[in-house]
A and B are shown apart, each in its own frame.
Chain A
Amino acid sequence: MGSSMEEKVVAVIMVGGPTKGTRFRPLSLNIPKPLFPIAGQPMVHHPISACKRIPNLAQIYLVGFYEEREFALYVSAISNELKVPVRYLREDKPHGSAGGLYHFRNLIMEDSPSHIFLLNCDVCCSFPLPEMLEAHRGYGGIGTLLVIKGSPESASQFGELVADPVTNELLHYTEKPETFVSDRINCGVYVFTPEIFNAIGDVSTQRKDRATLKRVSSFEALQPATRIPTDFVRLDQDILSPLAGKKQLYTYETMDFWEQIKSPGMSLRCSGLYLSQFRLTSPQLLASGDGTSIAIVIGDVYIHPSAKVHPTAKIGPNVSISANARVGPGVRLMSCIILDDVEIMENAVVTNAIVGWKSSIGRWSRVQAEGVYNTKLGVTILGDSVSVEDEVVVTSSIVLPNKTLNVSVQDEIIL
């Protein structure tokens, strides 16, 4: 009993909900963000398949605010495909990043797991989960955070932390600090032992006690009520910051890539990162061709088996082509995501763009952008069923679904 060979692991992936994260619009207008395709697979697929590498994985839970029916099909398909139970749990109201985990603790503890992984769905990284688990066992704390060294500029957008260089203990943590604290940032991937539920429960209880006190003290009663519900527990401010430096939390540093997929432009960047990772881990998924019977392929490219690409087209680098798309003769695609059922006609050029489901790109037309991933118009986005007519140029623009462009546009948002 209790040998590491029998210890089960449960993974929880936070997927968010429709009213949060309007930053991913217009791509999230018609599909939940976690299901948006990155490198040929829904965004949430990447952390899910990383979890599959964890030894003794018993269950994966997706936790979020979307309607159950939005995830029903995906969850049953992925459970079948990966042969691991995946279940979607809907939060009825916001509980905060740690509160959500706590809210479902009974379900999570059903398999009596020895360890629980918590991942954020919109994190793009190599997910070194087995290595993290190994390190965590060595440290003996209640939790281990995945961390990465970030640039001083980017560091301030995420949680900054300080770790002991010898013991890897988490010494200090601040969420989105204004001044520079450290260049180590929190990746949003964690492994915990079940004691974490006690820590979260304590925060809830403390808050309840303080709330009761507030009712009694008349001075406090005069203060404006910025009351946080007692069961709303944030991982960063309420757990990580207070527990830092108490030999409870540790860090594991990844030397690979790490990004957050917050904006549509970033989904193109992260698609590229995953495609180059496939080159190392599963090169059979990538396309190749030399222009004889199959199109010329440069760099890392994913082409769905049902897509049809003409041999005179030249594809890549960083291109992902989804199911049933048709790429015509003489087409040049660079740095783009082409979604299902798109038709690209002869001699068109698409670069630094995302082309939505069922759209059509006319002959000699050009869909382009500068390729700056985190600005509003840095990557051109065409929504579902957008029609770009022959010879039209679409530059640095966002086009909402069901529009037809018969004149060229630049730097515009077209509703």
Chain B
Amino acid sequence: MKALILVGGFGTRLRPLTLSFPKPLVDFANKPMILHQIEALKAIGVDEVILAINYEPEQLLVMTNLGIKITCSQETEPLGTAGPLALARDKLVDGSGQPFFVLNSDVISEYPLEEFIAFHNAHGGEASIMVTKVDEPSKYGVLVMEEATGKVERFVEKPKLYVGNKINAGIYLLNPSVLDQIELRPTSIEKEIFPQIAEAEKLYAMVLPGFWMDIGQPRDYIIGLRLYLDSLRKKTPSKLANGPHIVGNVLVDETAEIGDGCLIGPDVAIGRDCVIESGVRLSRCTVMRGAHVKRYSCVSSSIIGWHSTVGQWARVENMSILGKNVNLYDEIYCNGGVVLHNKEIKSDIMKPDIVM
């Protein structure tokens, strides 16, 4: 089976992290974002994943040795959310008649893909889409569907009045015949293709069990980590750290070092080769590969980028993001500071600010 991941563009909402790496390679829960999806696809027998991108593929092609074929489909002009499927047509259609997956790269969830395949085969329609329940549906595209069968009646984009609370979760399973309906031009899958298929009564929606999050921006990335670690607690709690210095759900890479007298958690991910010195307090934060958090400091609700340093007694909080290789000096207070790569911070950031 094949899968296409819509990687899209420059990931500007995740800057400054995406100024150093393309978005698919930005780490989430200690592995590149896109690896979560690729592993889920590989687990159910997908043999080729096509990455639909609109920039140079070199940085992504470092992902070899995953036991699954990765190819890139590069658009030279913006093709929207459906056009890239037409562009990758030759790679997606292998003559076997099997449906193919389409995933949005910013999404994390439990990826119950086997159930999804069973659902698709059972209804016999042309396309299946996963939906998720949200509290504020009017921010998204809402699907109105038949409760019993999941048959989609219509799409309503950002509805002003309540029509339902199920939104597009960005995970699709499509028959090759869908490709016949997509022209190679800027096309929206939500606005043009799916409504057509829904009218023909061939589009079905399955409610995604478990968590769902669009982690394309920092606030949602941090919430997403909490949801992901919650799910890990239920499924494979052995992967989470434990000990007197751990509170709640914490993921620590086996190569990371943690000093004495720390208090770590809840909802923390500490990446490869990180050094957390003694007396450090970490909560609701991500510490990326190679970062160094010096003693007695305190980090909460923030993201510490690759190879950055947090100085002794420093306090980093309130959605601060340190890009790659940022050096935050001792005793500094960083309140919502968004700091670009390779910067040195020698004075306090008293209120949310961007430091270039």
A contact set with B: CB distance below 8 Å? 18-19, 22, 25-26, 29, 398, 400-403, 413, 415
| Cβ contacts under 8 Å, A19 to chain B | 342
| Cβ contacts under 8 Å, B16 to chain A | 415
How many chain B residues touch A (CB < 8 A): the figure is 12
Chain B, Cβ-Cβ closest to A401: B10
Judge whether B354 and A22 touch: CB under 8 Å: no
Given A22-B343, A415-B15, 16 extra CB contacts under 8 A: A18-B342, A19-B342, A22-B340, A22-B342, A22-B356, A25-B340, A25-B356, A398-B356, A400-B15, A401-B10, A402-B9, A402-B10, A402-B12, A413-B356, A415-B338, A415-B354
| Cβ contacts under 8 Å, B354 to chain A | 413, 415
Please measure, in the bound complex, the distance between the C-alpha atom of A26 and the C-alpha atom of B354, giving whole angstroms. 12
| Cβ contacts under 8 Å, B340 to chain A | 22, 25
- B156 interface residue, CB < 8 Å from A? no
| Cβ contacts under 8 Å, A415 to chain B | 12, 15-16, 338, 354
Q: List 17 A-B contacts (CB under 8 A).
A: A22-B340, A22-B342, A25-B340, A25-B356, A26-B356, A398-B356, A400-B12, A401-B10, A402-B9, A402-B10, A402-B12, A403-B12, A413-B356, A415-B12, A415-B15, A415-B338, A415-B354
Chain A CB count within 10 A is highest, among B10, B16, B354, B356, for B356
B contact set with A: CB distance below 8 Å? 9-10, 12, 15-16, 19, 338, 340, 342-343, 354, 356
Chain A, Cβ-Cβ closest to B13: A415
Please measure, in the bound complex, the distance between the C-alpha atom of A371 and the C-alpha atom of B84, giving whole angstroms. 43
Min distance, Cβ B135 to any Cβ of chain A, angstroms: 25
Identify the 3 closest CB pairs spanning chains A and B, nearest first.
A415-B15, A25-B356, A413-B354
Please measure, in the bound complex, the distance between the C-alpha atom of A29 and the C-alpha atom of B10, giving whole angstroms. 14
Chain B CB count within 10 A is highest, among A22, A29, A415, for A415
| Cβ contacts under 8 Å, A26 to chain B | 356
Please measure, in the bound complex, the distance between the C-alpha atom of A67 and the C-alpha atom of B342, giving whole angstroms. 17
Chain A CB count within 10 A is highest, among B15, B16, B343, for B15
Please measure, in the bound complex, the distance between the C-alpha atom of A26 and the C-alpha atom of B340, giving whole angstroms. 10
Chain B, Cβ-Cβ closest to A412: B354
Min distance, Cβ A179 to any Cβ of chain B, angstroms: 23
| Cβ contacts under 8 Å, A398 to chain B | 356
Please measure, in the bound complex, the distance between the C-alpha atom of A400 and the C-alpha atom of B13, giving whole angstroms. 11
Chain B, Cβ-Cβ closest to A20: B342
| Cβ contacts under 8 Å, B338 to chain A | 415
Please measure, in the bound complex, the distance between the C-alpha atom of A18 and the C-alpha atom of B340, giving whole angstroms. 13
| Cβ contacts under 8 Å, A413 to chain B | 354, 356
Min distance, Cβ B234 to any Cβ of chain A, angstroms: 35
Please measure, in the bound complex, the distance between the C-alpha atom of A85 and the C-alpha atom of B354, giving whole angstroms. 42
Please measure, in the bound complex, the distance between the C-alpha atom of A114 and the C-alpha atom of B340, giving whole angstroms. 45
Please measure, in the bound complex, the distance between the C-alpha atom of A409 and the C-alpha atom of B9, giving whole angstroms. 23
| Cβ contacts under 8 Å, B15 to chain A | 400, 415
Please measure, in the bound complex, the distance between the C-alpha atom of A136 and the C-alpha atom of B46, giving whole angstroms. 75
